[in-house]
A and B are shown apart, each in its own frame.
Chain A
Amino acid sequence: MRRFVEAVWLVTRKDLLVEARTKEIFLTTLFFALSCVLVFAFGFVREGRAVGDAAAGILWIAIAFSGTLALGRAFERERQGETLRALLIAPIDRPALYLGKLLGILILLAAVEVVVVPLVALMFQAALFDHALLMLGLLATGTIGFAAVGTLFAAMLVRARSRDVMLPVLLYPITVPVIIAGVRGTAALLQAEVDVPMARAWLSMLVAFDVVFITIALWTFEPVMTE
């Protein structure tokens, strides 16, 4: 167990170290997320204010789109350096490798969200911080669910052709529940009469999704990543 946790941390630390030196994925993902928010603002802002539930939708679409970009780039880096093979040869359990990669991507996405969420709150007059704890829970579980599926798919697509387009094609239909739960949960907190029980229901749905999908991902990572 100790060895397992150490291996997970080593993989994560490696990714974070590379990222800290170049900041490539963090900066490109962050600015892509901001561009998403900008583009969607043109569609959903009337007379200076966002229509209906637009803020919740825009926030989650920005997270999903930029998350896809980050996932693709994180594994593209491994492919260019031929380092994924080295990771697979390394004497560590495949699940540890998966969890390490997942943790690295989660930290990266969390860093992006720290900037994007307050910005959305500011630009769309959305009260995202009135129920800060619930909102934090929705963001955390939603991002974990999205990244859990995304890490597995991005990893297995490393060796596939046309991986750039395949990742979103595979990822979006499967993460539909995350998007719905994230958007509806956030919208429940943003509407005029805040619906806390509804947001809680969506949060518990996200927790169930995370548990099921991380379990299946851990289970399938080994057979999928074996040559």
Chain B
Amino acid sequence: MTNRLFVPLAIVTAAMFAYAPFMILGAPYESTMGLVQKIFYFHASAGMTLFAAAAVSGIGSALFLFTRKPWADRMAVSGAELASIIGLVVLVTGPLWARKAWGVWWQWDARLTSTLVMWLIFNAYLLLRKYGGPGSDRLAAAVALFGMANVPFVYWSVNVWRTLHPKTSVIPSLQPGMRGPFWFCVLAFLLLFTLVLIVRMGLEHRRAELDELYLALED
């Protein structure tokens, strides 16, 4: 089923990414930030995709830990890898925008800090899987589970500490002209994420099959 849907979805995603620059160009300029604000379409969309990747990895980890289904583990590791890459996109585009909007590259505010911590947790997850040796898949699953439970605490604690980043409530209050391009970009990012996730999970599946074949050959 995935195969039949994959190609049309890939074409739609490619077309959306090709058309996105025109939509962003057509969107109105923000009154105080001007052109710089355009990075918002990229940054906030990537941020939303990061949360999707984190949720996929966390749910996969919890399922794997308690049911031991191999596909859940494949979902967890694919989600974590994507979270690491998309997190990098978010953490690079954020400071670029912040430098122009706030005058500094980095602020220790709630959103920035919690995103950084989440990104670190998923990288720790990947490091553990890569260098932890046999059995580290289950250990990594526990790490992802703790990482997920941790996010609200990090957010709350840094929020009390200090805050600068615009709240999520900015999005419903967007200007009408910005709303369309923004959700278009979010959808494009989420589609790309879904496609890469499918490919990555397929790769993991093939790898497991190959391992089984090797084992069968040795017997």
Binding site for B on A (CB under 8 A): 149, 152-153, 156-157, 159-162, 166, 169-170, 173-174, 176-177, 180-181, 184, 201-202, 205, 208-209, 212-213, 216, 220, 223-224
In the bound assembly, the distance between CA atoms of A2 and B119 in angstroms comes to 43
Task: Tell me which of B66, B117, B143, B145 contacts A170 (CB under 8 A).
Answer: B143
Assess the A161–B133 pair: CB atoms within 8 A.
yes
Judged by a CB distance under 8 angstroms, whether B102 is at the interface is: no
If the complex has contacts A174-B147, A177-B153, are A160 and B142 also in contact, measured as CB distance less than 8 A?
A: no
Task: Tell me which of B66, B143, B158 contacts A223 (CB under 8 A).
Answer: B66
Q: Which of chain A's residues have a CB closer than 8 A to the CB of B124? A: 166, 169-170, 173
Assess the A173–B142 pair: CB atoms within 8 A.
no
Task: Tell me which of B128, B146, B157 contacts A180 (CB under 8 A).
Answer: B157
Q: Which of chain B's residues have a CB closer than 8 A to the CB of A181? A: 157
Judged by a CB distance under 8 angstroms, whether B213 is at the interface is: no
Q: Which of chain A's residues have a CB closer than 8 A to the CB of B139? A: 156-157, 160, 224
In the bound assembly, the distance between CA atoms of A181 and B155 in angstroms comes to 12
How many residues of chain B have a CB within 8 Å of chain A? 31
Main secondary structure on B side of the interface with A: helix
Assess the B161–A162 pair: CB atoms within 8 A.
no
Which residue on chain B has the smallest CB distance to residue A170?
Answer: B124
Task: Tell me which of A160, A174, A223 contacts B132 (CB under 8 A).
Answer: A160
In the bound assembly, the distance between CA atoms of A136 and B127 in angstroms comes to 36
Q: Which of chain B's residues have a CB closer than 8 A to the CB of A202? A: 160
Q: Which of chain B's residues have a CB closer than 8 A to the CB of A208? A: 153
Cβ distance A46 to chain B, nearest Cβ, rounded Å: 22
If the complex has contacts A159-B135, A184-B161, are A152 and B142 also in contact, measured as CB distance less than 8 A?
A: yes
